[in-house]
Amino acid sequence: MRHYIIPIFIPELACPNRCIYCNQRYISGQINQPEKEEIIEKINTNLSTFKPPYKAELAFFGGSFTGIEPHKQIEYLEIIQPYIKRGEIESIRISTRPDYINESILQTLKAYNVRTIELGAQSLCQDVLDYAQRGHRVEDVENASKLIIDSGFDLGLQMMIGLPKDSIEKSILSAEKIVSLGAKSTRIYPTLVIENTELANLYRKGDYIPLELDDAVIWAANIYKIFYNNNVRILRVGLHPSESLISKTELLAGAFHVSFRELVLTEIWKQELNQIPKDKTKQLIITTHPKSKNHAIGYCSSNKNYLQTQFKHVFYQEDSSLKDLEFNYHLSN
Ligand code: SF4
């Protein structure tokens, strides 16, 4: 069965926070919250393209959903209810801040068929959160996560890598904490420097150096494996919370690549395949799941090209019974 997402962008127009990487305040004058008719049109257009049998989820993304005025939240949630009653949409997903969650907010979300709540945790290290001026504490992430799970929702925790004060060790710690808090899904965003942000000022003064692309790929590969090994679904690797708003002129610096996820999976496969004992007199046959074959070959065939320098010949074949990161290999003369 196909799983479709209908994305509805709801900017939080008056976010009172000052996260140093975010240009939401700058852009807030230039965008509006969508009207009911626009949302209905978007849903209907999406539904008309879905091929049955399918499961559809509506995702409110953008700012912090539970930070918008309560009557507006309800207005938005009410639009979706007839679709849920008719079975056209199965569930709703929202994203918000850890400190915008409490029992009464959760009761409302429950009453309107919200199933998944994603929190922007960004880091589970207090010094990283403080420097980024997130305005919440690690305990807020822990408490909100517990409340969300205890209330029967699916929890998603998003994280950023390469914020000021972050390190690969701290990002691994954050990922491990996300696993232990019971997240079912996650997103990994390398920090990008966007125009009209405090981070842009720091960058221009030389007080912040973003991760190089190669380093961001290695950090993300380490984190990806932690989530993969603990069955946390990785919904996104790459880009930034305000991704839909980034234009080339707004992006100043940072580990941005249109195929960032592919680069990360290429790195993971490079590390896995490197464990095969090298022998230039033998030919190597690698077997992977069909979906993983391209990643095992690598972005621009980088893994295959490297292996071809270490073996007489290299061949890839497929086996659907293998898991995503599983492989078999065979060496012959
Ligand atoms: S990242 Fe979210 S909470 Fe922080 S300033 Fe931007 S919109 Fe507000």
Residue 16 has a pLDDT of: 82
Query: Which residue lies with its CA nearest to atom 6 of ligand 1?
Result: 22
Mark 175-208 as b/e (b = at least 16 C-beta within 10 Å).
bebbbebebbbbbbbbbbbbeebbbbebbeeeeb
The verdict on domain 2-258 having CATH code 3.40.50.300 is: no
CB–CB of 234/186 below 8 Å? yes
CA distance 68 to 66: 6
CA–chain centroid gap for 127, Å, is 22
- Which of 10, 12, 130 is the best mutation target for the ligand 1 pocket, counting ligand atoms within 8 Å of the beta carbon and taking the most? 12
Query: Which residue lies with its CA nearest to atom 7 of ligand 1?
Result: 63
CB–CB of 4/24 below 8 Å? no
Query: Which residue lies with its CA nearest to atom 2 of ligand 1?
Result: 63
Residue 31 has a pLDDT of: 66
Please report, in tens digits, the pLDDT of each residue of the chain (333 residues total): 899 999 998 876 668 888 999 887 655 445 678 899 999 999 999 999 999 999 999 999 877 899 988 999 999 999 999 999 999 999 999 999 999 999 999 999 999 999 999 999 999 999 999 999 999 999 999 999 999 999 999 999 999 999 999 999 999 999 999 999 999 999 999 999 999 899 999 999 999 999 999 999 999 999 999 999 999 999 999 976 455 555 667 889 999 998 999 999 999 999 999 999 999 999 999 999 999 999 999 999 999 999 999 999 999 999 999 999 999 999 999
Q: Which atom of ligand 1 is nearest to the CA of 15?
A: 8
Q: Which atom of ligand 1 is nearest to the CA of 18?
A: 5
Q: Which amino acid is at 189?
A: Y
Domain with CATH 3.20.20.70 in the chain: 2-258
Residue 240 has a pLDDT of: 61
Residue 25 has a pLDDT of: 62
- Return the structure tokens found at 48: 């008309």
Residue 249 has a pLDDT of: 75
Task: List the alpha helices (DSSP H) in the chain.
Answer: 24-27, 36-49, 70-85, 103-111, 126-131, 138-150, 168-180, 198-204, 213-229, 260-273, 293-297, 302-308
Distance in Å, CA 187 to ligand 1 centroid:
16
Residue 246 has a pLDDT of: 59
Ligand 1 interacting residues, C-beta cut-off 6 A: 12, 15, 17, 19, 22, 24, 63-64, 97, 241
Distance in Å, CA 144 to ligand 1 centroid:
17
Residue 241 has a pLDDT of: 46
CB–CB of 136/97 below 8 Å? yes
Distance in Å, CA 274 to ligand 1 centroid:
41
- Report CA Rg, the chain: 22
Residue 14 has a pLDDT of: 67
- Which of 13, 15, 21, 26 is the best mutation target for the ligand 1 pocket, counting ligand atoms within 8 Å of the beta carbon and taking the most? 15
Q: Which one, of 192, 195, 182, lies nearest residue 150 by Cα?
A: 182
Distance in Å, CA 241 to ligand 1 centroid:
9
- Return the structure tokens found at 76: 């938005």
Distance in Å, CA 303 to ligand 1 centroid:
38
Distance in Å, CA 64 to ligand 1 centroid:
8
pTM for this structure? 0.93
Residue 11 has a pLDDT of: 77
- Which of 64, 159, 199 is the best mutation target for the ligand 1 pocket, counting ligand atoms within 8 Å of the beta carbon and taking the most? 64
CA distance 220 to 26: 29
Neighbours of 74 (CB within 10 A): 13
